[in-house]
Amino acid sequence: KTKIGVLALQGSFAEHCAHVRRCGGEPVEVRKAEQLVGCSGLIIPGGESTTMANICRRWNLFEPLRDFAASGGAVWGTCAGLIFLADRIGRGAKQGGQELLGGLDVTVDRNFFGSQARSITTPTSMRCAVPDADDGSDTPFRAIFIRAPAILSAGPGVEVLAEYALPEEKRAELRGTDAEDVEKIIVAVKQGGNLLATSFHPEVTSDVRWHKLFLEMSSAAKAYAGVGEDAVRKA
């Protein structure tokens, strides 16, 4: 069974574990670096990205998480996990200040669908195709956004898997801001064969196709040996 670590510091990790199990993978709740050993994939769940970063810093997880991705492990960030994986947070200083894991060449807007301060949960639904789905990639997926980020731009090495055309109400809301020209945003991307990110929450629906896709990506990656282990073995 492919072992998939699920970062379990806060947020929707339990739901991700259940979906991984449904797809035939073995979920491992990750709170310590040792728990990454043997995993070929890692899911960074939705939740609150500043809190996640603070806990990661306190528990010394930044280095092992970065090493996991650098050594080729598959990593999937959903919502807050996408923010955490991003290289850049855009649209104003109000969004900055938090430490990011980085690695994904995108610029995100942290709370594109609503304000964090008011902590609103705004589920919106969209439909997008799931790439590489074994039941035909044109079957639409119902995506749920919860105080979701948007990807405003992506680097040349990033493959865009899904976009969302903004409804008229959202465009009206953006008029007069620096995002008034935005007609559609990117909501799912893949980079370099091992990084996946979605701004929506597939783990809160009963559709497991995104998890299946991630399991395939993880099966193609090698199991993680631990920080520095590769170097030790090669020496």
What is the binding site for ligand GLN (CB under 6 A)?
46-49, 79-80, 83, 110-111, 116, 146-147, 149
Q: Which is nearer to ligand GLN, 147 or 212 (CB)?
A: 147
Given 19, 23, 203, 211, the catalytic residue:
203
Is the CB of 124 or the CB of 219 nearer to ligand GLN? 124
Nearest to 80 by CA among 10, 157, 132, 183: 10
Query: At closest approach, how far in Å is the CB of 145 from ligand GLN?
Result: 8
Instruction: State which residue, 90 or 149, has the beta carbon closest to ligand GLN.
Output: 149
Q: Does 19 qualify as catalytic in the annotation?
A: no
Q: CB–CB of 137/131 below 8 Å?
A: yes
Crossing angle of helices 49-58 and 62-70, rounded to 10°? 100
Q: Where are the beta strands (DSSP E) in 61-202?
A: 74-78, 86-89, 104-109, 125-129, 140-144, 150-154, 158-165, 184-191, 195-198
Residue 46 beta carbon to ligand GLN: minimum distance, rounded to whole angstroms: 3
203 an active-site residue? yes
Residue 49 or 194: the one with the smaller Cβ distance to ligand GLN is 49
Encoded tokens for 200? 């929506």
CB of 78 to ligand GLN, least distance (A): 7
Residue of 84, 161, 159, 167 lying closest to 125 (CA atoms): 167
Q: What is the nearest approach in angstroms of ligand GLN to the Cβ of residue 130? A: 20
Pick the closest to residue 152 from 211, 73, 69, 95 (CA basis): 95
Q: Which of 15, 16, 79, 211 is catalytic?
A: 79
Among 16, 19, 201, 211, which one carries the catalytic annotation?
201
Could you give the residue numbers annotated as active site? 79, 201, 203
